[in-house]
Amino acid sequence: MASEQSTGGRIENIRHSLAHLLAAAVLKKYPKAKLGIGPVIENGFYYDFDLPEPLTPEDLKDFEREMRKMIGAKLLFSGEEVTAAVATKRMKGQKYKLELIKDFSKEDQKLTIYKTGDVFEDLCRGGHVADTSEINAEGFKLDSIAGAYWKGSEKNPQLQRIYGLAFANKNELEAFLKMREEAQKRDHRKLGKELQLFELVDEVGPGLPLFYPKGAILRRIVENYITELQESRGYQPIWIPHITKGELYKISGHLDKYDAMYPPMKLKDEADYYIKPMNCPHFMMLYKAQQHSYKELPVRWTCTTTNYRHEKSGELSGLTRVRSLTQDDCHVFARPDQIEPEINVMLDMIEEVYKKFGFNNFWVRISTRDPKNKDKYIGDEKVWQESEEALTRLIQKRGWKHEIGVGEAAFYGPKLDFIFKDVIGRDWQLSTIQLDMNLPKRFDLEYTDTDGSKKAPVVIHRAILGSTERFLGILIEHYGGAFPAWLAPVQVKIIPISEKHMAYAEKIKKELVGCRVEIASENETLGKKIRSAEKEKVPFLAIVGDKEMESGEVSLREHGGKDHGSVSVEKLKSLIK
């Protein structure tokens, strides 16, 4: 079958039909090709093939040419419902299609075969144009080749996937390509180097970024902001070490579950130690080491600390997927009746943070139990039910865009994930709030209730930034490297017009105490120095020459060219804050 159902607008039909034309073109060149699936996706389509040799970009040109020929030939799309026996016969030799026929028959799904003129037929649910004259031959482009596992499973053979872009016409296609090109200019990996924020060095290791002063300042500003916000909401900092006995992870159950843990290291003759890949167990042990009364709950602890995970090499990318990740981790130990108010406080903080950074485009996934499969989950039935309702209610009350992920909860509790959509339309998971009814049990956590009995608290895990590294990556792309003044590693660049004005520049710098200021001291023309500072994306340029020395002010230029005229140092300070 060549598709997910695509009954929607015309563009889906065009994209889906193009997928069929691509398959036809590939079959023409490789008659023995085995076809996988070819669905419509955002901005286009793809089709998976099992081929005798790797494809090259030149092949894509050939396929495009062939597809355009077919478009010009005004081929008709027609479908018919068939029995499994007929489908099996018609798809003879197509082993993946035959597998699908079996799968669908088991599920009692109807089978349909669609023909494209007389050049191609495919097991497919339909959703096509009537004939190829509806397709604009200049509105599509074969985009890239990639490997993809059959049915998305690592255990299955890997097929070659051809991605195509498709739009109603050439203008729309070009607009998309242009937008993508612009987005690539904002790539945090490129900007991270250009703006001297961070570096990935072979000798240090993949996924282990090093931060230059400017990047480190940016990190610190963001982390301090979160730390202060948390402490203003009653969270208390704790601190934990970076290596720990394996025993701790036996208690938590992580030891045999995660192969991304680095192998243990032997400290002399002592037990095996691990570099910590997560913080929860440490929080649990610290809680457990003291006794707790219902009166002191909720206990709200937080720690911004780095974890080390052996993420698979092919998954690493810039700052967004790393092996050293710093979490703004927080665990709240609460009574069941405190779950809702505690989560509400977390939502307040998330709202405040997103507003501060201008992240308007986000949505929330509320992951709940699979009601058909309740045995899968541990924890108190009543707590599950009430907290799932509370999560949904709280999100709805704020009017935030959300989806219920039925059956997507962890076995130990429901969760909220906050997903931010960036300028290129990619989704990034930022904040997460998870209820945990498992770890308190495994660690035998308790508090003394009003009646003197010992009860297990509920733990709420929470991170707002997610990881500092990934957050910075997203932040760099979000602002295209042109940070607002409160975040900018350098807030003001003072540009003396000539060497005569250096002393005055130094004087202004002193007056801007508390601000992050640099002086452009290089022996260059004014135009050159402005150009350099603009490329560094410094928010404010303070130009000083004879006129300014006389007035005691600076000529202020904002990043991008906006002219503020002559302003006093005090005025400049107020603009920075």
Catalytic residue (choose from 331, 402, 537, 557): 331
Instruction: Indicate if 515 belongs to the active site.
Output: no
Judged by CB under 7 A, which stretch of 88-96, 226-234, 394-402, 544-552 contacts RNA?
A: 544-552
- Kindly tell me which residue out of 10, 237, 258, 425 binds RNA, with binding defined by CB under 7 A: 258
**Rama region for 345: left / alpha / beta (φ>0; ψ in -120 to 50; rest):** alpha
Query: Should residue 464 be labelled a site residue for RNA when binding is judged by CB under 7 A?
Result: no
Phi and psi of 473, rounded to 5°? Answer: -55, -45
Number of residues that bind RNA (CB under 7 A): 67
Instruction: Indicate if 478 belongs to the active site.
Output: no
Q: Please answer whether residues 180 and 425 qualify as being in contact, where contact means their C-beta atoms are separated by less than 8 angstroms.
A: no
Residue type, 258: Y
- Kindly tell me which residue out of 15, 20, 115, 161 binds RNA, with binding defined by CB under 7 A: 161
Pairing of strands 236-237, 299-308: parallel
Query: Should residue 369 be labelled a site residue for RNA when binding is judged by CB under 7 A?
Result: no
Judged by CB under 7 A, which stretch of 143-151, 229-237, 343-351, 510-518 contacts RNA?
A: 143-151
Query: Should residue 145 be labelled a site residue for RNA when binding is judged by CB under 7 A?
Result: yes
Instruction: Indicate if 557 belongs to the active site.
Output: no
CB atoms within 10 A of CB 232: 9
Interface positions, 494-523, toward RNA (CB under 7 A): 497-500, 522-523
| Comparison of 9 and 561: residue with beta carbon closer to RNA | 561
Query: Should residue 280 be labelled a site residue for RNA when binding is judged by CB under 7 A?
Result: yes
Query: Should residue 311 be labelled a site residue for RNA when binding is judged by CB under 7 A?
Result: yes
Query: Should residue 56 be labelled a site residue for RNA when binding is judged by CB under 7 A?
Result: yes
What span, in angstroms and rounded, lies between the C-alpha atoms of 462 and 350? 10
Instruction: Output the DSSP codes for 7-67.
Output: -SSHHHHHHHHHHHHHHHHHHHH-TTPEE----EETTEEEEEEE-SS---HHHHHHHHHHH
Judged by CB under 7 A, which stretch of 28-36, 140-148, 168-176, 383-391 contacts RNA?
A: 140-148
Quote the least distance from Cβ 43 to RNA, whole Å.
Answer: 11
Q: Please answer whether residues 165 and 144 qualify as being in contact, where contact means their C-beta atoms are separated by less than 8 angstroms.
A: no
Site string for RNA, 327-356 (x = CB under 7 A): ------------------------------
Quote the least distance from Cβ 160 to RNA, whole Å.
Answer: 6
Instruction: Indicate if 461 belongs to the active site.
Output: yes
Quote the least distance from Cβ 249 to RNA, whole Å.
Answer: 8
Instruction: Indicate if 442 belongs to the active site.
Output: no
Query: Should residue 312 be labelled a site residue for RNA when binding is judged by CB under 7 A?
Result: yes
Query: Should residue 528 be labelled a site residue for RNA when binding is judged by CB under 7 A?
Result: yes
Catalytic residue (choose from 48, 329, 417, 436): 329
Q: Which two tokens stand for residue 474?
A: 């997203």
Site string for RNA, 545-564 (x = CB under 7 A): xxxx------x-x--xx-x-
Query: Should residue 539 be labelled a site residue for RNA when binding is judged by CB under 7 A?
Result: no
Instruction: Output the DSSP codes for 536-576.
Output: TT-SEEEEESHHHHHHT-EEEEETTS-EEEEE-HHHHHHHH
Judged by CB under 7 A, which stretch of 96-104, 286-294, 376-384, 535-543 contacts RNA?
A: 535-543
What span, in angstroms and rounded, lies between the C-alpha atoms of 140 and 321? 32
560: buried, middle or exposed (CB in 10 Å: 19+, 13-18, 0-12)? exposed
What span, in angstroms and rounded, lies between the C-alpha atoms of 528 and 534? 10
Judged by CB under 7 A, which stretch of 63-71, 216-224, 382-390, 529-537 contacts RNA?
A: 529-537
Three-state secondary structure readout of 512-529:
CCCCCEEECCCCCCHHHH
What span, in angstroms and rounded, lies between the C-alpha atoms of 406 and 34? 35
Q: Which of 162, 170, 176 is CA-nearest to residue 136?
A: 170
Catalytic residue (choose from 230, 327, 434, 491): 327
| Comparison of 74 and 535: residue with beta carbon closer to RNA | 535
Where does 202-248 show beta strands of DSSP type E?
210-211, 236-237, 243-245
Is the omega angle on the peptide bond into residue 298 within 30 degrees of 0, that is, cis?
Answer: yes
Query: Should residue 321 be labelled a site residue for RNA when binding is judged by CB under 7 A?
Result: yes
Q: Which two tokens stand for residue 413?
A: 């509790």
Instruction: Indicate if 106 belongs to the active site.
Output: no
What span, in angstroms and rounded, lies between the C-alpha atoms of 23 and 465? 43
List of residues 6+ apart from 385 with CB closer than 8 A: none
Catalytic residue (choose from 415, 462, 501, 529): 415
Instruction: Indicate if 365 belongs to the active site.
Output: no
What residues are annotated to the active site?
280, 309, 327, 329, 331, 415, 461
Q: Which residues lie near RNA (CB under 7 A)? A: 54, 56, 144-149, 152-154, 158, 160-161, 189, 193, 200, 202, 205-207, 254, 258, 260-261, 277-278, 280, 309-318, 321, 410, 461, 497-500, 522-528, 530-531, 534-535, 541, 543, 545-548, 555, 557, 560-561, 563
